[in-house]
Structure 1
Amino acid sequence: MVLDLVVIGLAINAGPLHNSAFILLLSAPRGVRKGLAFILAWLGCLVLVLAAVLLLTGGKPPAPRSAPSTLALALKLVLGIAMVVYAERKRSRGGGRRAPRTPKWLGRLDSASGWTAAGLGVLLQPWGLVAAGAATVVQAHLTSLASYAALVVFCLLATSGLIAMELYATFRPEKARTELGALREWTETHQDQVIVTLSLLAGVWLVAKSIYQLV
């Protein structure tokens, strides 16, 4: 479970769309406050998803080969296959070879309110990966210290890039504006390539682990 959550958390953290939107929020007037609203909503959403799963399981993993255990593994398998298919379709359509058009709504983030920033923190979650993380947490046993640590690490990994950019913009605003702007430009230029790579790697990992555990 721990390794699965680390892989999924890193994949969530590296997602290009929410990172581009977050950098634009930071560069807007009162950007640090808007960035904080985004992070709190993002992290709160992750915590709520994990809490809902743990409430359903009672903090105890289902017995191996039981219906709930098999269902969780089957969900991870379906999500993994969907990610691989999505990556291949996007790649075959030229997703890894041409720069994508920047969505128009990204250009309007300069005037976004704090509430809008918080809403984006929820909407821009990579929900396929979040669902995979939730299916993995079904295996968590809350009598184990390692399980608590794994949940904390998952949330921190999934949010670490946002937190790092927020701190950078807070304490080194001028330098952050230049360097984060360059990062956003690179991310937008290579957005499809990053999405294809992340979807393929995460999808193959989920498929392989799910099949291994099911068999």
Structure 2
Amino acid sequence: MVLDLVVIGLAIAVFPLSVTAFVLVLSARNGAWKGLAFILAWLACFVVVLVAVLITTGGKPPPPRSPPSTASSAVKLAIGVLLVGYAWYRHRTGPRHRHKSSGESSGGMMARLDRSSAWTAAGMGPLLQPWGLVAAGGATVVGADLSESSSYLVLIAYCVLATSSLLAMEIYMALAPDAARVRLGSLRTWLQTHQNRALVGVSLVAGVFLVGRSIYQLAS
């Protein structure tokens, strides 16, 4: 379970669409407060998913090859196949064509974010999570044993790891706002240029891992 959550948590932390959205939120007026609201809602969503899974299992991992255990592996296998398919689709279609008006469109988006409230940013947090990976994490948590204190540490570490990129940017913005705006601008430019490749890479690595682990668990 630990290895699975580490890989899934890392994939969530660097998922390009979520990172890009958070960079835009931080770049808006009062971005530090809006970023904090985004992170709190993001974490709350993780907690809700984990609690729902643990309530369902009663905090005890199902026996190997039992229907719940098989269903958990089957869900991760399906998500892994979908991620690999998504990576192939993005690779074949390539980056979307950018029109000359893309700068104006981006400016309009930033204007809307400037006018938005922290509540709006909070609503964006759960909506912009990579839900396929979040679901894979939930299926993995089925194997958590709450009778062992180490399981609590693993679950907390998973939530922190999945949020680590957002937390790092938020802390940087709070401690050095001027320098952070410059770095965030550079990161935003890089993501706009390389987002498709990053999506392909993250989706492919996470998908292949989930497929391989799920097949192993179903076969063992």
Task: Give yes or no for TM over 0.5.
Answer: yes
User: What TM-score, normalized by structure 1, do the two folds share?
Assistant: 0.94
Q: Is the 8 A contact 2:43 2:159 kept in 1?
A: yes
How far, CA to CA, are the matches of 1:139 and 1:99 in structure 2?
43
Aligned residue number for residue 178 of structure 1: 182
* Deviating more after overlay: 18-27 vs 189-198: 18-27
Identity %: 58
How far, CA to CA, are the matches of 1:54 and 1:200 in structure 2?
29
How far, CA to CA, are the matches of 1:148 and 1:100 in structure 2?
46
Matched, 1:81 2:81: yes
Aligned length: 213
User: What TM-score, normalized by structure 2, do the two folds share?
Assistant: 0.92
How far, CA to CA, are the matches of 1:17 and 1:106 in structure 2?
15
Q: Is the 8 A contact 1:77 1:210 kept in 2?
A: yes
Quote the offset at 1:111 in angstroms.
2.1
Q: Which amino acid aligns with 2:157?
A: V
Quote the offset at 1:146 in angstroms.
2.4
Equivalent residue in structure 2 for 1:214, among 206, 215, 218: 218
Map of 1:148-163 to 2, 5 A cutoff? Answer: 148-163=152-167
How far, CA to CA, are the matches of 2:114 and 2:51 in structure 1?
33
Relative to structure 1, is the Cα distance of residues 25 and 57 closer, same or farther in structure 2, using a 3 angstrom cutoff?
same
**CA shift digits 1:191-210 (9 cap, x unpaired):** 11111111100000000000
- Unmatched segments (≥5 aa) in structure 2: none
How far, CA to CA, are the matches of 2:138 and 2:192 in structure 1?
28
Map of 1:50-129 to 2, 5 A cutoff? Answer: 50-95=50-95, 106-107=109-110, 108-129=112-133
Relative to structure 1, is the Cα distance of residues 131 and 110 closer, same or farther in structure 2, using a 3 angstrom cutoff?
same
Quote the offset at 1:61 in angstroms.
0.6
Q: Which amino acid aligns with 2:128?
A: L
Secondary structure of the equivalent of 1:74? helix
Quote the offset at 1:106 in angstroms.
4.3
Aligned residue number for residue 9 of structure 1: 9
Q: Which amino acid aligns with 1:167?
A: I
